[in-house]
Amino acid sequence: MTRRVRFAPSPTGYIHIGNLRTALFNWLFAKEQGEAGHFLLRYDDTDRERSKAEYAEAILADLEWIGIRPDAIDRQSDRIAVYDAAVARLKAAGVLYPCFETPEDLELKRKRQMARGLPPIYGREALRLSEAERQRLVAEGHVPHWRFLLPNFERDPFAPRRSEVTWDDLVLGPQVVDLASLSDPVLVREDGTYLYTLCSVVDDGELGIDHVIRGGDHITNTGIQIALFQALGFAPPRFGHHNLLTTVEGEGLSKRSGALSLRSLREEGIEPMAVASLAVLTGLSGAIEAAPDLAALGRRLVLTEVSASASKFDPAELERLSAEIVHALPAERVRPALEAMGVPPEEVDAFWSAVRGNCARVAEAAVWREVVYGAPSLPALEDAGFLASALALLPPEPWGPTTWKEWTEAVKGATGRRGRALFMPLRLALTGLDHGPELAALLPLIGRERVAARLA
């Protein structure tokens, strides 16, 4: 079977690490088949008020930052004519019916049902209206919304019976939703706009999506949507529902709050593979480690191993994973950033291998650039006699990886100092800091001229 998947965010905010989990589960699942796997980015933008072009652009850019390049892009707002046609088919089949209740009417009904200990399921009262009554309501200026008549009865829609929709979930295994436990969903609002449930099914059907992987908050929708696929004459795709991520406090993530958005993580200098690894590996068996690339991450993803309950994740893990990645980044990956900081192009390799172990983020290399090539603030020289001896013993250039050892051996011989008493005054005098990369690696980069000036 082919793997045609889609990621379907509504462009109403920046996507966060929980959204990325869904995107990556789909991407990695499809791309397990290599180029044959097809990933559609679908903007669910029928909510005109809240959908914004800038968010749509940001979603694409954020996915690209992670390494996800959609094979195709669609937006629901371009496909209204397709939904019109689907609605006409449902009406012709008699499974979409007009309802005239106001939200207040419905709320009152729900309260009455609850008070009587009944489940708050819509009782299909609008189906009892005769054609003449409907016409009268319309003539009086009432505008209907439209509900999908769930196939949960034999002959009498007012006598629903247990009607199981079942599917073999890619993550959770066999699943059952009883359509008799649900209200007929509204598919068309009073103002004629369409609801997600309709548009999503029409798109998945028309665009040949054969696998839908999404959050576990959609399980009930899936029961309804399978019935709708069938009413529209489409074979339903296979479904998988992954668990949701929550913060350590157990709170869900929200696009609206902007918390843990990919945008903010990128601005903070977190490495994209740290974000991708945490988004995918949380709630899977095995350790959470930074995967080197998406292909390696894909090999860790086994859908049937994803935990069924919500997974807490700790944003502090992002720092740890990101630092791990930065410590191992090859110079070629950071060359543009380092040159932009002012590291001489011919010294990028040596500079990066000297400092990367001391950087949790690439941007932190700027501190070491200043130490090596700039004018770090140096403490007042306390140990002037010792430093003067060290200055006198500086070897001539060229300097290389053994220069530090040769020099400090000579200083040790001349001054009798060893260990910390030997090295720390030199480190402080040369870098202004009591910690940092190996001086053996820094010394040749700082160079004789600057070293001499700092010791004087």
Tell the smallest beta-carbon distance from residue 9 to ligand GLU (Å).
Answer: 5
Out of 46, 163, 200, 431, the only residue in the binding site for ligand GLU (CB under 6 A) is: 200
Q: Lay out the site mask for ligand GLU across 205-234 (x = CB under 6 A, - = otherwise).
A: ---------x---x----------------
User: Binding of ligand GLU at residue 62 (CB under 6 A)?
Assistant: no
User: Binding of ligand GLU at residue 10 (CB under 6 A)?
Assistant: yes
Tell the smallest beta-carbon distance from residue 26 to ligand GLU (Å).
Answer: 9
Tell the smallest beta-carbon distance from residue 214 to ligand GLU (Å).
Answer: 4
Site for ligand GLU in 111-130 (CB under 6 A): none
Identify which range of 8-16, 99-107, 242-250, 416-424 contacts ligand GLU by CB under 6 A. Answer: 8-16
Secondary structure of residue 210 in the 3-state scheme: coil
Number of chain residues interacting with ligand GLU (CB under 6 A): 8
Q: Lay out the site mask for ligand GLU across 177-196 (x = CB under 6 A, - = otherwise).
A: -------------------x
User: Binding of ligand GLU at residue 44 (CB under 6 A)?
Assistant: yes
Identify which range of 3-11, 106-114, 303-311, 351-359 contacts ligand GLU by CB under 6 A. Answer: 3-11
283 Cα distance to chain centroid: 15
- Strand extents, DSSP E, 46-150: 72-75, 96-99, 145-148
What is the rounded radius of gyration, in angstroms, for the C-alpha atoms of the chain?
32
Return the C-alpha torsion angle 415, 417, 423, 424, nearest 10.
Answer: -100
Tell the smallest beta-carbon distance from residue 10 to ligand GLU (Å).
Answer: 5
User: Binding of ligand GLU at residue 237 (CB under 6 A)?
Assistant: no
Out of 9, 205, 236, 437, the only residue in the binding site for ligand GLU (CB under 6 A) is: 9
Tell the smallest beta-carbon distance from residue 27 to ligand GLU (Å).
Answer: 14
Distance from C-alpha of 423 to C-alpha of 62, rounded to nearest angstrom: 46
- Alpha-helical (H) ranges within 174-293 are 196-206, 219-231, 262-267, 272-281
Residue 404 near residue 342, CB atoms below 8 Å:
no
* Helix or strand holding residue 183 (H, E): none
- Provide the β-strand partners of residue 261: 16
Residue 331 near residue 349, CB atoms below 8 Å:
yes
Is residue 255 part of an annotated ligand binding site? yes
Out of 5, 8, 275, 301, the only residue in the binding site for ligand GLU (CB under 6 A) is: 8
Distance from C-alpha of 68 to C-alpha of 61, rounded to nearest angstrom: 9
Identify which range of 4-12, 245-253, 391-399, 410-418 contacts ligand GLU by CB under 6 A. Answer: 4-12
Tell the smallest beta-carbon distance from residue 245 to ligand GLU (Å).
Answer: 14
Site for ligand GLU in 336-355 (CB under 6 A): none
Residue 426 near residue 390, CB atoms below 8 Å:
yes
Amino acid occupying residue 403 = T
261 Cα distance to chain centroid: 8
Identify which range of 2-10, 50-58, 235-243, 310-318 contacts ligand GLU by CB under 6 A. Answer: 2-10
Secondary structure of residue 171 in the 3-state scheme: coil
Distance from C-alpha of 90 to C-alpha of 87, rounded to nearest angstrom: 5
Tell the smallest beta-carbon distance from residue 269 to ligand GLU (Å).
Answer: 28
* Cα separations in angstroms, 374 against 291, 371, 417, 430: 35, 6, 29, 11
Q: DSSP secondary structure string, 20-89?
A: HHHHHHHHHHHHTTGGG-EEEEEE----TTT--HHHHHHHHHHHHHHT---SEEEEGGG-HHHHHHHHHH
Identify which range of 5-13, 231-239, 322-330, 348-356 contacts ligand GLU by CB under 6 A. Answer: 5-13
Distance from C-alpha of 213 to C-alpha of 252, rounded to nearest angstrom: 19
Binding annotation for ATP:
255
Write out the residues near ligand GLU by the rule CB under 6 A: 8-10, 44, 196, 200, 214, 218
Binding site listing = 255
